[in-house]
Amino acid sequence: MQRLDLHSTSLRTVAYQDQRALLELEFRSGAVYRYFGVPAESYQALLRSESKGGYFNSHIRNRFAYAKIYPAGQTPVRDSNS
């Protein structure tokens, strides 16, 4: 998945895999979460929103199953092949 930098006070980067409806968010804290079953429309709306953190809190957080991939403070390994 290709990561995009976000202009946000709470979110650092985002990646999305359309075939699996998989959204991956890296927070400024360093924590990385994967959200499952996120429609492409929600990903596009996140990218267009003025407040990325606000959109996340209102439309993604607590609405989709997720898994924490990296704990805060640990730098994720960026794999361009995933």
Q: Parse the chain into domains and list their residue ranges.
A: 3-70
In terms of C-beta density within 10 A (0-12 exposed, 13-18 middle, 19 or more buried), how is residue 25 classed? buried
Q: What is the pLDDT along the chain (82 residues), one digit of tens a residue?
A: 899 999 999 999 999 999 999 999 999 998 999 999 999 999 999 999 999 999 999 999 999 999 999 765 565 555 544 4
Those residues whose C-beta lies under 8 Å from the C-beta of residue 63, and which sit 6 or more positions away, are none
Q: What is the pLDDT of residue 28?
A: 93
Q: What is the pLDDT of residue 70?
A: 76
Q: Which amino acid is it at 81?
A: N
